Amino acid sequence: DGGITQSPKYLFRKEGQNVTLSCEQNLNHDAMYWYRQDPGQGLRLIYYSQIVNDFQKGDIAEGYSVSREKKESFPLTVTSAQKNPTAFYLCASSTGTGPANTGELFFGEGSRLTVL
Amino acid sequence: AQSVTQLDSQVPVFEEAPVELRCNYSSSVSVYLFWYVQYPNQGLQLLLKYLSGSTLVKGINGFEAEFNKSQTSFHLRKPSVHISDTAEYFCAVSDPGQGGKLIFGQGTELSVKP
């Protein structure tokens, strides 16, 4: 079945450690996105990528980094510079680029990061 | 910039009652509109979308929404809810000229009680 796979589903981290969240899709979608979700705040865009080897900052990129070396993969690193990293992280993808992209997103199941 | 307002953060309702979840957006230009549902500790799933055409859009699980351009609204409705509809619902909008960047509302928590 086609879809988006995020791993791990749950992750615990000590303060000061970097952690990388995996996101893989087999939908052949061009664009991929990372969102952060906190209670009562909806979804906030961290980074997005519309083509391989290119990505743009979203609304809350500070303390995060990404790479897009392959079309299928868009890993997110939460660095020690992120002041409040405990949250639910959602990866998504969409088909088409530029005006052909309606914005319809397909989501993974999420990764819950807890900083101890 | 686009913004989306979901007017109710929580909506409690009894089983088999009708429900309306309200959503307003800021732009008066052409938009694409979406409703997503999220069950606890899961990702978001598309309920329905408006891209063009008929202003009444039908989605999965018996939900429907009406696009009202003059009131810049896209309210979600269901005539009779079930316990299994308990979830968080997100309204979202994208600008056709912006290459797909989706802007989400804050979410509405629907709680269906027996």
From the list B43, B100, B107, the residue facing A103 with the nearest CB is B100
Is there a contact between A56 and A47 (Cβ–Cβ < 8 Å)?
yes
Long-range contacts of A26-29 (CB under 8 A, 24+ apart): A26/A2, A26/A72, A27/A2, A27/A3, A27/A93, A27/A95, A27/A106, A28/A71, A28/A95, A29/A93, A29/A94, A29/A95, A29/A106
Strand ranges in B2-105 using DSSP code E only, listed in sequence order:
4-6, 10-14, 19-21, 23-25, 32-38, 44-50, 56-58, 64-68, 73-78, 87-94, 102-104
Average pLDDT over residues B32-37: 95
Confidence of residue B2 (pLDDT cuts 50, 70, 90): confident
Query: Is B99 part of the contact surface with chain A (CB cutoff 8 Å)?
Result: yes
Tell me the pLDDT tens digit for each residue of B35-63. Answer: 999 998 899 999 999 998 899 999 999 99
Q: Is the pLDDT of residue A99 over 70?
A: no
Query: Is A50 part of the contact surface with chain B (CB cutoff 8 Å)?
Result: yes
pLDDT of residue A98: 67
How far lies A56's CA from each of A48, A99, B29, B64, B105, in Å? Answer: 5, 17, 25, 34, 22
Task: Using alpha carbons, select from B61, B88, B91, B54 the residue that is nearest to residue B76.
Answer: B91
Please report residues of A whose CB lies closer than 8 A to that of B97: 99
Tell me the pLDDT tens digit for each residue of A41-89. Answer: 889 999 999 899 999 999 999 999 999 999 999 999 999 888 899 999 9
Query: Is B1 part of the contact surface with chain A (CB cutoff 8 Å)?
Result: no
Tell me the pLDDT tens digit for each residue of B76-109. Answer: 999 999 999 999 999 999 887 766 678 899 999 9
